[in-house]
Structure 1
Amino acid sequence: MTNPLETRTDGAVETPSAARPATYSRLVLPAMAANVFLLSMIQTLVVPALPLIGQQLHTSATTVGWVATATMLTASAVTPLFGRLGDVYGNRRIVLSALLVTLIGSVIAATTHTIGLLIAGRVLQGASFGLFPLAISVLRKELPIARLHHALSITASALGIGSGFALVATGVLTQHGADYRRIFWLSVVLTVAVLALAAKALPRRAGQGGRVDYLGALVLGSGLVALLLPVAQGHEWGWTSARVIGLFAASAVVLAGFGFLQARTRQPLVALSLLAHRPVLATNLASAFVGFAMFSVFLGATFFVQTPRAVTGFGFGASVLRTSVVYMLPGTVLAIPLGPMAGRIVTRYGPRVVLLGACVLGVAALAAMAFLHGNSVEFIVGLVLANVAVAVAYAAMPALLVTHVAPHETGVANSINSIMRTIGGAIGTAIVVTILTSETVLYRTPAGPLALPTEWAYRTAFLLGGAAFTLAALLAAFGFKRSGH
């Protein structure tokens, strides 16, 4: 029986001995997991600190929102390009280049005192998003097949760990209104460490050669920026505004043009047949839904636990520090051993079964958060289970893609999957913020009137996350051929 990891989508069979070196560095896996941890941390680090950044730079909420949006827009433009560059020129060169650009952006963000330069630094930090597909490509090329599922799960689970760590670190570093630049100095230190580890661990191997479709990358990046920009700014601009509607229409036209262009390019950036392949399509859609659920958990929980119970009758009135340590830290700590555990489960039962189980757990966790939040203990349990669901779901996805795509398509396939996760997270963030800012009640407090989200607004946000997990579970159940796990 042919190992699915050795089977290409066109039916040809890889020869493991030809595709992989006889020996490999044991630092490759920790280096690639560290890269993924770093990009996830950079993505999430600013989210809890946006109000503080606005206060310290005397900037409006609309302007400071670009600190979060900037990296997402860069990611949409560079992620598929980096995946292809790694295949053509060699992963080591592109990984180190992406880390160097990330480091420059981190230094700018840590030293500037103007919002414009801060946003510019965040634009450069967005290069880190290209590290995920590059990491998956490195693992596929460098590790023996017997260790691959385990390694992919550990690396992918670092996505959830990095996000959880970022929420905790931001809370600790910015408590009592401390200088927000501390969080960017943290990213500087970690980027230097990851850069040194990657330089030592990654072997100097030539790429497979070929052509890079720069025009296709430009068109795809433009279409994705036009899609993500109104998603990220829609709650500020107005969902029915001319800018939002115009950008959505432009994205549809540009992305359709991208498909037309790729169908007529000899060496396209993305083979359309790859995107249409049922298991790849199902994995990408599941990634978007889990990304949506992840941010409905993180944002909804962060705001909910800080809601003053004495005023509203719900919430826990937690400080930023208590939010980070008491509520967010347990899920982050538990996610650390989940990577190796998920890897063993994926190897034994297959990634489809693991993805399905994680999404079912996510549905139960979000339902518990929506209806069982009367005390801290039960809410923390629900939050921990939601973190577990996210970490395990993402641990299964690279194995699903590697099972169903050819080696030379690994970088691009995981690039698209990474973009889908970004799109899902952006949509989740936009919808949760819209719900929490539109469903409010004006409370009278000693400090004056205070508008806060209703309990039903939080319930809605958590239930929408549960619905996203449900859709991902249906994809895991029915979107793959059973013989391919």
Structure 2
Amino acid sequence: MVTANLLAATVFTPMLGRLGDLHGRRPVILGVLIVVLLGSVLAATTSSLPLLLAGRVAQAASFGLFPLAIGLLPEELPPQRLTGAMALVSGMLSVGAGFGLAVTGLLMRDGGDYHQLFWLAAALTAVGLAGVWLLPRRAGVATGGLDWAGAALLGLGLVLLLLPLEEGNGWGWGSVPVLGCLTGAVIVLVGVVRFERRVTHPLVSTRMLTHRAIVVANAAGLFLGFSMFAVFLAVSALVQTPPAVAGYGFGASVLAASLVYLLPGTAGGIISAPLGGRLVARFGAKSTLVIAAVLAGAGFTMLAALHASTWQVIVGALMVNTGVTFGYAALPALIVAQVEPAETGIANSVNSIARSVGMSLGTAFVVTMMTRNPIAGPVPLPRESQLVTVFMVGAALAAIAAVVVARALPRAQPPKLTVPEVEADEVYGAAGLDVPVRQP
């Protein structure tokens, strides 16, 4: 069910981002929410595995909401409020993921009925649907049509890439299906690049594939997705391990792992998401990304060295989650500054896919480490050194990300405005009018 949802999301997300650019974000968001609502209700009312899979596939359309929402903000907000708003919306991704884990721990304790989760998803989707209905409708900002051939090729390439990452532990990392899928992914994705260069209105312009700032932003998204799922899974495994058997851990229940050890980090996102927006506005997206990588690296390092006490695990996970939230806050501002308005939807969709690939890599890596050479017993348990390796790899990747972002991204130069220009911008913003764009 997890794999079906993720694979469907990789196909839907770029197509929905492009449709939003073409036809306006509001109608596409409404359509997405209706599909998600129907999928949630279907999953909540069935015990049939095929129908449950169908519901999960329909729910995968929700992955397209983020790039659509980011593309919607410049249409509805004055420029002086845009950076903070994008940071808040983006930062809420990690907050929502964390709260999802906590709510799951609450509802599923003592063998709860999984249908409750889908009813909750249906209720939240209905609330979102009512809110989006109140937004004004805006015309699309792109021309042309949807590149169906490019969408099909991109979807096939991403499915071939993500499928072995999700199933590699069961299939075997050196097996023919895994190696065949990865080889096919490389061939198809290279073909996508060559195909898109010849299309008048490509789904993904070659500029997005070669522009250094966008490439770095997608690499940063890959790292942030890896970090978010690596810390969730590794910390959950660490704190649930019984110390009497393994010599480490806390023997925590699923509920305690969610509420005590993971919830503080995700709840802190309510503060760190808007704070990330202020960092972007004050220091720029580049500096904020560097701060995010350094903070996440410090958190992983702390978890690798200090994990014998509850407070140490909570603080380490909090640092990693805060770094991820700061990074999520910086990425939309960085991407929107590098693409045309007609490309914001698809550009953020590609970045969302990069994060999804990172999540899959984080999941695959942690599961592989946990199941490799386990402690013998009725329930195989990971050795402490294996979880320490996960944290050390996270710290190393954070250091690489900080260096790459610091060296590869140019520093944006803010426009120097005169006092009359600043006063005029404030008047435009207060009146709800577009603030003139001034070049640095």
- Do the structures match in fold with TM over 0.5? yes
Q: 2:21 aligns with which of 87, 91, 102?
A: 87
Aligned-pair CA distance for 1:484:
5.1
Q: 1:235 is aligned with what amino acid? A: N
Question: Does the Cα contact within 8 Å between 1:286 and 1:471 map onto a contact in 2?
Answer: no
Which residue does the alignment assign to 2:438? none
Aligned-pair CA distance for 1:298:
0.5
Question: Does the Cα contact within 8 Å between 2:84 and 2:274 map onto a contact in 1?
Answer: yes
In structure 2, how many angstroms separate the alpha carbons of the residues matched to 1:72 and 1:224? 10
Q: 2:47 aligns with which of 102, 113, 117?
A: 113
Q: 1:480 is aligned with what amino acid? A: L
Count of residues in Structure 1 that have an aligned counterpart in Structure 2: 413
Q: Does 1:98 align with 2:27?
A: no
| Deviation sequence 1:431-470 (CA, Å, 0-9, x none) | 1101101131114xxxxx3311000111111122222222
Q: Does 1:206 align with 2:133?
A: no
Q: Does 1:458 align with 2:391?
A: no
Which residue does the alignment assign to 2:336? 402
Q: 1:328 is aligned with what amino acid? A: L
Q: Point out where structure 1 has 5 or more consecutive residues left out of the alignment.
A: 1-66, 444-448
Q: 2:283 aligns with which of 349, 356, 362?
A: 349
Name the SS of the counterpart of 2:380 in structure 1.
Answer: strand
Which residue does the alignment assign to 1:474? 403
In structure 2, how many angstroms separate the alpha carbons of the residues matched to 1:167 and 1:359? 23
Which residue does the alignment assign to 2:366? 432
Q: How well do the aligned residues superpose, as a CA RMSD in angstroms?
A: 1.2
Where does 1:24-43 land on structure 2 (aligned, <5 Å)?
Answer: none
In structure 2, how many angstroms separate the alpha carbons of the residues matched to 1:305 and 1:390? 21
In structure 1, how many angstroms separate the alpha carbons of the residues matched to 2:299 and 2:122? 35
Which residue does the alignment assign to 1:278? 212
Q: 1:252 aligns with which of 186, 196, 207?
A: 186
In structure 1, how many angstroms separate the alpha carbons of the residues matched to 2:236 and 2:42? 28
Question: Does the Cα contact within 8 Å between 1:294 and 1:465 map onto a contact in 2?
Answer: no
| Deviation sequence 1:134-172 (CA, Å, 0-9, x none) | 011001222111111100100000111011101100000
In structure 2, how many angstroms separate the alpha carbons of the residues matched to 1:175 and 1:239? 33
Question: Does the Cα contact within 8 Å between 2:284 and 2:412 map onto a contact in 1?
Answer: no
Question: Does the Cα contact within 8 Å between 1:290 and 1:468 map onto a contact in 2?
Answer: no
Question: Does the Cα contact within 8 Å between 2:24 and 2:139 map onto a contact in 1?
Answer: yes
In structure 2, how many angstroms separate the alpha carbons of the residues matched to 1:72 and 1:292? 15
In structure 2, how many angstroms separate the alpha carbons of the residues matched to 1:191 and 1:335? 21
Which residue does the alignment assign to 1:78? 12
In structure 2, how many angstroms separate the alpha carbons of the residues matched to 1:381 and 1:344? 23
Which residue does the alignment assign to 2:73? 139
Q: 2:138 is aligned with what amino acid? A: R
Q: Point out where structure 2 has 5 or more consecutive residues left out of the alignment.
A: 415-440
Q: Does 1:184 align with 2:118?
A: yes
Q: 1:418 is aligned with what amino acid? A: S
| Deviation sequence 1:73-92 (CA, Å, 0-9, x none) | 01111111111100111111
Where does 1:218-229 land on structure 2 (aligned, <5 Å)?
Answer: 218-229=152-163
Aligned-pair CA distance for 1:483:
3.5
Question: Does the Cα contact within 8 Å between 1:293 and 1:466 map onto a contact in 2?
Answer: no
Q: 1:318 aligns with which of 236, 242, 252?
A: 252
Q: 1:215 aligns with which of 126, 149, 166?
A: 149
Name the SS of the counterpart of 2:300 in structure 1.
Answer: helix
In structure 1, how many angstroms separate the alpha carbons of the residues matched to 2:239 and 2:172? 28
Q: 1:186 is aligned with what amino acid? A: L
In structure 2, how many angstroms separate the alpha carbons of the residues matched to 1:161 and 1:483? 28
In structure 1, how many angstroms separate the alpha carbons of the residues matched to 2:308 and 2:237? 15
Where does 1:11-22 land on structure 2 (aligned, <5 Å)?
Answer: none
Q: 1:68 is aligned with what amino acid? A: V
Q: 1:172 is aligned with what amino acid? A: L
**TM-score normalised per structure 2:** 0.92
Question: Does the Cα contact within 8 Å between 1:290 and 1:472 map onto a contact in 2?
Answer: no
**TM-score normalised per structure 1:** 0.83
| Deviation sequence 1:313-357 (CA, Å, 0-9, x none) | 111100111111111111122111222221112111111111101
Q: Does 1:303 align with 2:237?
A: yes
Q: 1:166 aligns with which of 74, 97, 100?
A: 100
Identity %: 46
Name the SS of the counterpart of 2:128 in structure 1.
Answer: helix
In structure 2, how many angstroms separate the alpha carbons of the residues matched to 1:116 and 1:463? 40
Q: Does 1:152 align with 2:81?
A: no
